[in-house]
Structure 1
Amino acid sequence: MSDNLDALYRRVSWRLMPFLFLCFVAAYLDRVNVGFAKLQMLADLRFSDTVYGVGAGMFFIGYFIFEVPSNLLMTRAGARLWIARIMISWGVISSAMMFTNSVTTFYVLRFLLGAAEAGFFPGIILYLTYWYPAHRRARMVAVFMSGVAIAGVVGGPLSGWIMKAFDGEHGLSGWQWLFLLEGIPSVLLGIWTLFYLDDGIRDAKWLSEADKRVLEAAIAADRVGQQHLPLAQVFKSGKVWLLALVYFLFVMGLYGVSFWLPQLIKNSGVADVFHIGLLTAIPYCVAAVVMVLAARHSDRTGERRWHAACAGLAGALGLVVATAYSDNTVVALAALSVATAGILSTFPIFWSLPTAMLGGAAAAAGIAMINSLGNLAGFVSPYLVGAIKDATNSTASGIYLLAASLVAGAVLVVTMERTRR
C-alpha cells in the first residue's frame, strides 16, 4: 500500500511541481530583476542608493496590503482562476517598469507590482496543502522554492546578457529591455494556468476516482489536530505572530542577498555586467541543491526547528565572511554561496511549521498573514542597506545587520514548541 501511495504522489508531483516551479521562477525574476537594472538605471535616472532601496522595497508595501485579501479570495474564486489573474497582471506591470522616468514612477510601479503579485506565494503554499500531507510537504515546498535559486541561476546571466546586448536598441537602455522582455513569460504562463491547473484533487480529470479517494483520505487524516480558528482569532494568535516575526528576520537576509548580490560581486572587483550575471549564478546553483537536500532530511527525520535554525546561522556566517573579504572575489563568492544556500534553505523548512498547525480558513488567513508581515522585511532590508551605504559609502554595516537578523531568527525558531510529525 505504501509503495502504491508513493507512486501516486510521484504522479501528482510530476503533474504539479514542474509547472508551479516554472511559475515561481518567472515571479521571482520579475520581483528582483531590479537588482540588475540598478547597475545601469541609477546612473541613467540619477537615483541614489537610498532611492533605489525605497523603490525596491515599495513592492512589499503593496504586497503587504493586498496579500491576506488575495489569499482569502483564492479560496472563493478557485486556485486556477486566481493564480492566472495574479500572473497575468504582474507580468504586464513588470514589463511596464521600462517606463520608469522619475522617482515617483519608480515607486508607483514597484508598489503596483507588489499589489499584483500579492497572494501568489502564500496561495501556492495553501494550494500544496490541498494535495500533500505535512510529512511530504517540506520537500514539495523546497522544489517550489528552488525557483528562487533557479531564477538566480538563469536570471543572472540572462539579465546581464539582455542589458549588454540590447543596450541602445531602438533608443531604449539595457535596463528597459530587461523589464520588457522578462515580464512577457509571466503573462504567457498566466494564460497557460487557465488551461493546465486544477482547483484541487476533486477537479483533476487526470486522476481516477479511486486515486482521488486515496489522496483525499490522506489529506483528511493529516488535518486531524489542526487548528480551525475563526478568522478574528488568527490575527490574535500569539503563535501566528511569532511565526511572522521569525519569517521577517529570515526574509531580511533573503532580500539582502536578492537585491544586493550583483552589487556585492561588483564591489569585489568584477566590472563587466555580463560577467557579474554569470557569477551570481554560482551561489544560486549551490542553493538549489542544498535547500532540496535539507528539506528532504527534515521530512525524513520529522525535525523542523533545528534544521531551520542551522540554515539561518549558516546564512549569517556566509554574509559576515563575504563582507570581511569583500575585496577578494574568490573568497567573497564562496562565502556568498554559503550565505545564499543557508538563507534559502530556511524557507521550505519554515513553511512546514504553520501548514502543520493551521487548517481551513485559518490556514488561508494565517499563511497569508505570516507571509505578508514577514515580507515587510523586503521593504526594510533594501532600504536600510541603501541608506547605510549612502551614509557610510559602504555596504558592510548593512550586511552585518542582515546577518544579525538571521541569527535572531535562528534563536527564535529554536524556542518554538515542537510540532507533531
Structure 2
Amino acid sequence: MNLRHTRLWLLGLFLVHAAVHLAGFQSVWLDSDQLVIADQASWMARGEFHEPFFFGQSYLLPFESYLAVPLIWLGVWPIAAVKAVAAASLYLPFVWAAWVLAGERPWAALGVAALFIGLHPEYTLSAGMPRGFIAGTALAWAGLWVLLRREGLPSAATLAIAAGVGFCTGSYMSIALMLPVLVWLPTRHQRGLAGLGLLVGFALFKAVGLFYKLHPDHIVHLFPRLFFKPGYLVHNIGVEEIRAAVFHLTALTGVVCALVLLPGSRPWQRRDVLPWVLCLGAVAAAIVLMVANNKIVEFNSKSPFFSVYRMMLPLPFLGVLLLGRRVGLAAAPRSGAVTAGAGALRVGLAGLVAVTVLTGVQLYRLMHVAPHMASLPSTVPPITFEWLQANCEEIGGWWRESKEPYFVLEGRNDALAYGCHGQYGVPVLQTNHERRTWLKDRFAQGVPR
C-alpha cells in the first residue's frame, strides 16, 4: 500500500471535516467568553499588555490571545484570529500524528483518524472554541510528543520542554490526564528530569499568578475552592450527562489502548506490563479526581458553549500520544512510498474506506445536531456574528452622536462590551462585572482607548 497516498487521503479527510465544522458552526456562532479572548488579543496586538490571565480572572492563561497576535498584525479580524488558533489547536495534533504514523505503522494512523471521528459532536463543537483551554492543551501535547518521540534529547531540552508542559498544566489542570505517558521515557534520568521540569513549570505559573497578589483590584472572578469528596464522585457520576461524557471518552481511550497492543514491529514482552499498569492507573486516578470535585457540575446539559466536555478536553489527546509512542522505530519503514504486501493492502484499504464512511456519518450528525445544541440554554449564552454586528453598529451610532469618549452600558452584557470594542473599535464600558478593571481610570480621564 502506498503510504504517501494514505497520508494524503487522511489529510484530505481532516481538511474536509475542518471546513464543514468551521463553516457550518464556528463561523456562525460565538459567545461572550470567546469575545473576551478576542478583545484581549486586540489589546495585545496594539502593544498593550495589561493582564497575563483571562481578563479579570486569576486563573487560566488565554493562550489563544497570545498566539493570535501575529495574525492580527497581518490584518485578520481578532475573533477570526483566535478562532483560527483554536481550530489549529484542535486539528493539528491529530493531523500531525496521523501523518507521521502513516510512515511507521499505518494501522496507528488509521487509529488516530478513527479516534477523532469517534468524538462526540458536543466535544468537537466545544473544543474548537477559543476559551484558553484548547490551545494550552495542544501546546502541552506538543511538548509531550517531542519528549516521547525524540531520542537523545539534551538534558536542558528535556527540562525546558517539561517545564513548558508544567506551565500549561498549571493554567488548565485537566492537562494532567496526559502526563502519565511520561512513564515511557526510556531512562530513569529522563523521567527524573521530566518530573523536575513539570514542577519548575508549575512554579513558574504560580509566579505569574503573583500579578494578582500585587493587583487584587483587577480580579472580578475568583476560581472556586476545589473540594474532593467520595460523595461528589457518587453524585456526579450519577448525573447522566457527566456519566455519558466520562464513559464515552474513557471508552475511546480504551479502544486506543487495544490498538496499541496489536502486534507491531517488535513482540510483546513482559517488561511492557509495568509501564502500562502505571500509566493507566495514573489516568484512572486522574479521572476519578476530575469527577469527584465540586467544579465539574458547572455545565449546561448538551450545550457546547458551557459543556461538561470542557473539563476533559485532553483525554483524546492522551490517546494520540499512546498511539504515537516510540515503538521499534529502528525497524519501521522510513519512506513514504513503501508498498505493503497484499494482505496489508487489503486491510489498509478497508480501513481507509471505513474511516471515510465514518467521517461522512460524523459530519452529517455534527451538522444535524449543531443548530439544536446552539439553541439550548447556557450559562454563557451563544450569539451569532450577525447579531453582534447589528447591535454594535447601533451602539456605535449612539456613541458617535454623543461625542463622549466611551459608551456606558448599564448592567452587564459581555458580548457587547467586549465584542463591540475588540471587533468594531467602539469603546464600551459596562457598569457590572467589567473585566477590564484598569479601563475605569482611563475612561474617567476621558481617554477612549
TM range (shorter): under 0.3
Larger radius of gyration: 2
> What TM-score do you get using the length of structure 2 for normalisation?
0.21
Q: TM-score if structure 1 supplies the norm length?
A: 0.22
